[in-house]
Amino acid sequence: MSFPALVRGAALALALAALASCRIESAAPSSDVAATHEGTPSGEVWVYTSMYQHVLDALEPLLKERLPGVTVRWYQAGSEKVASRLDAERAAGAVRADILAASDPFLVERLARAGDFLPYASPHVLRAPRSLVDLDARFAAIRVSTMVLVHREDSAPPPTSFAALVDGSWKGRVAIGDPLTSGTAFTWAVFCHARHGDACFTGLRERGAIVAGGNAAVLQKVESGEADAGVLLLENALTARARGSRLQVVWPTDGAVTIPGPVALFKSTPNPVAAKAVVDVLLSPEGQRLIVEKGDMNAVDPRLDGPRGGPGVEALLERAQPWTPALLEQGLTRGGALKEAFSRAFSR
């Protein structure tokens, strides 16, 4: 998998290699994050994020323990709302956020290209697969979400691939997210369109796909029996199963769609010392473990298992569709056209 923006610059790669040669794999800088920065982290740090509120609640005690002088404030909302708020603040010349922890790689890449981010390479990114680290140090993934197929235990044989939803080789009703309102659904749509062109959307429409809004709506459609299968975030499926749902997960044979969740520091932050320290905590082994255990998402630390004992990040990337520079450009520069094609297909 090639994470967005890996096609540029190797300067950081050299720096990371030099730092990596000095580190000890089994002795991560996890206990005293503050010591890695000049001065003692203190003051207020605003984090704009689409991570689930219960994950943020779980991270709060760790942040308070590691950074007692720092007050972390959260603006938590869906990726589209986070993007809208940031765009409004940028237009007004008053970005309040110090840190962005998003689930939309296209948003992060757009802001990175605009020069909004302060380069920072946390020592913890040395553990992460290189495909999840921007080589210019503008951002790095702190989590990976995954789009898979789901169905009910009592339903007909499920689709085995995303392609089967488009080409008609599977007969049934499928629920999909709306790429006009859901960031994760949009990312999946970019992958689908890159492989099948406009036939992706027309094929889904002709076969009666149900556009359900966000992931919660897709889950409800499948659980209620209105849909036989769905395209859903793995984390939502695992959480549902943990509460007793009869939902089953199918890993698509044409590859799951992984969605890296990057973290980045805004260049405009008035408190870079504390902001960097917060990023370090999120990437620390303890922070990563909470993301897995409470969020049912994959950590970027390859030493950790995936959610509910599933594959770790390296095995996950091997069973995923690869990110490419062409995919990145399609989502960035042709996102509006892609959404229009989706609207045309489903308005017939």
Q: Could you tell me the pLDDT band of residue 37, with boundaries at 50, 70 and 90?
A: low
Distance CA 17, CA 36 (A): 18
Distance CA 53, CA 218 (A): 20
Distance CA 68, CA 302 (A): 28
- Class of the domain covering 11-144+259-318: alpha beta
pLDDT tens by residue, 99-126: 999 999 999 999 999 999 999 999 999 9
Number of residues in the chain: 348
CATH number of 146-257+325-346: 3.40.190.10
Q: Which pLDDT score, from 0 to 100, does residue 38 have? A: 65
Work out the burial of residue 248: count CB atoms within 10 Å of its CB; fewer than 13 is exposed, 13-18 middle, 19 or more buried.
middle
Task: Supply the pTM of this predicted model.
Answer: 0.87
Mean pLDDT of the chain: 89
**Greatest CA separation for the chain:** 62
Domain ranges of the chain: 11-144+259-318, 146-257+325-346
Q: Where are the alpha helices (DSSP H) in 96-225?
A: 105-113, 163-167, 183-196, 199-206, 215-224
**Residue 11 reports pLDDT greater than 60:** no
Helix (H, G, I), strand (E, B) or coil at 195: helix
pLDDT tens by residue, 187-196: 999 999 999 9
pLDDT tens by residue, 46-97: 999 999 999 999 999 999 999 999 999 999 998 889 999 999 999 999 999 9
Q: Which pLDDT score, from 0 to 100, does residue 156 have? A: 86
Distance CA 142, CA 146 (A): 14
CB 50 within 8 A of CB 183: yes
Q: Measuring CA to CA, which residue among 93, 32, 43, 91 is closest to residue 284?
A: 32
